[in-house]
Amino acid sequence: MKVIRWGIIGCGSVTEVKSGPGFQKANHSELVAVMRRDAAKVKDYALRHHVPKYYQDSQKLIQDPDVDAIYIATPPHLHHDYVLKVASAGKPVYVEKPMALNAKQCQAMIKVCEQKNVPLYVAYYRRALPRFLTIKSLLETGAIGKVRALTITYTRPFNYDPKQPLPWRVIPEISGGGFFMDLACHILDYLDFILGPIVKVTGHSSNQSNKYQAEDTVSASFVFACGIQGTGLWSFSSFERQDRTEIIGNKGKLVFSSFDTEPIQLVTKGREQKFPIDNPEHVQQPLIQTIVNQLNGIGQCPSTGATAARTAWVMDQILQS
């Protein structure tokens, strides 16, 4: 099998543990170049992670003949343009989530990649994590019978120093929205993976704390193509952290968190089972491995531009309702 040589555009915090080392530790994969505009920070990253090349100019990394595929780990407002540049160079591209600021941008990215015959992958890494593969398997083997409905509750407080700049994740022109865009997309995407696409959705969003411009409270009601109904509530100005999803069937239910790692609960009549499953150290590594495998002609990555665009469409419908 060929070793896939990776370059990273935007070696910020997400690449320190979650993703960057995964390119070095996946089989038949190597991280050979990184890019960041700040000269001191990109040199420091390259030295600490033993990456042989580093750039301040993204185009130089894109055109580097030693780079086979490129991971875009910038904030979302830059995803669209970078994907088009990488696709135009004829190289496979793996982009952070959310895929773009909105579904329209996602479709434009997909179109260009198709025209250039370039594969497009998106960092919805829960699709490859053992924890969520276990949930999928339990549903497919009928552990809770026929799935009827699901509920999502995710709340947390917003604590920040008002003397400091707001985090970019709550600046809509950079992130596409607020923490809902950054976090709920993970939940909605793995539900697409587990249960199929959402085809009907309505929502409500507002800013209740007035601490920033973006929404901080969102509720939604949705229906999957298979007929399963769901509701969600996300609040980012609450007094406590909650992270709970319940998938309810006619013979039981599954209860689990999306971001924490307490055991998955399988509850049936008169019985409760728990499945303790930790995440790997580098949570993107299993998904990266599926990309490397596919580029070598083995299997298929479960998170593509097409699947991620469906999640972007759902997010748009909720926020624009």
pLDDT tens digits, one per residue of 261-315: 999 999 999 899 999 999 999 999 999 999 999 999 999 999 999 999 999 999 9
Last residue of a domain, one of 78, 101, 125: 125
Q: Is 306 inside any structural domain?
A: no
Alpha carbon dihedral 47, 50, 55, 61, in 10-degree steps, equals -170
144 with 249: CB under 8 angstroms? yes
> Is pLDDT at 236 greater than 80 in this prediction?
yes
Q: What average pLDDT score do residues 2-26 get?
A: 97
Residues 114 and 138 in one domain: no
Tokens coding 319? 């926020």
Into how many domains does the chain fold? 2
Same domain flag for 115 and 197: no
Pair 141, 169 in one domain: yes
Which tokens hold the place of 64?
Answer: 């580097």
Arithmetic mean of pLDDT, 181-192: 98
268 and 146 part of one domain: yes
Residue of 28, 31, 76 lying closest to 50 (CA atoms): 31
What does pLDDT average to over the chain?
97
Q: What is the pLDDT of residue 162?
A: 82
109 located within any domain: yes
Q: Judge whether 299 lies within some domain.
A: no
Residue 161 predicted with pLDDT over 90? no
Instruction: Say yes or no: 229 and 255 in one domain.
Output: yes
CA distances from 24 to 32, 50, 87 (A): 9, 10, 23
59: left (phi over 0), alpha (psi -120 to 50) or beta: alpha
Please report whether residue 305 resides in a domain. Answer: no
Q: Say yes or no: 223 and 205 in one domain.
A: yes
Please report where in the chains the tokens 């100019």 appear, as a residue: 57
In this predicted structure, what is the pLDDT of residue 270?
85
- Contact partners, residue 234, CB within 8 Å, separation at least 6: 152, 154, 155, 179, 180, 183, 184, 217, 218, 219
Residues 99 and 168 in one domain: no
Q: Are residues 11 and 105 in the same domain?
A: yes
Domain boundary, last residue among 88, 105, 125: 125
- Give the CATH number, domain containing residue 92: 3.40.50.720
Residues 174 and 262 in one domain: yes
| Boundaries of domain holding 13 | 4-125
- pLDDT at position 321 over 90: no
Q: Which residues of 97-113 are buried (b: 16+ CB within 10 A; e: fewer)?
A: bbbbbbbebbbebbebb
Which burial class, exposed, middle or buried, applies to 268 when counting CB atoms under 10 A from its CB (0-12, 13-18, 19+)? middle
Query: For the whole prediction, is pTM greater than 0.95?
Result: yes
Query: 154 and 271: one domain?
Result: yes
Query: Domain for residue 203, yes or no?
Result: yes
Three-state SS for 254? Answer: strand
Q: Percent helix, strand and coil across the chain, each rounded to 5? A: 35, 25, 40
Q: Which of 73, 15, 18 is nearest to 280 (CA)?
A: 18
* 61-75 tens-digit pLDDT: 999 999 999 999 999
Indicate the DSSP class of residue 230.
E
What does the alpha-carbon distance between residue 310 and residue 192 come to, in Å, rounded to a whole number? Answer: 8
- Domain end call among 107, 125, 143: 125
| 317 within a domain of the structure (yes/no) | no
The three-point CA angle 17-282-22 to 5° equals 90
| Residue 284, domain member (yes or no) | no
CATH code: domain of residue 171: 3.30.360.10
- Residues 94, 145, single domain; the answer is no
* 287 located within any domain: no
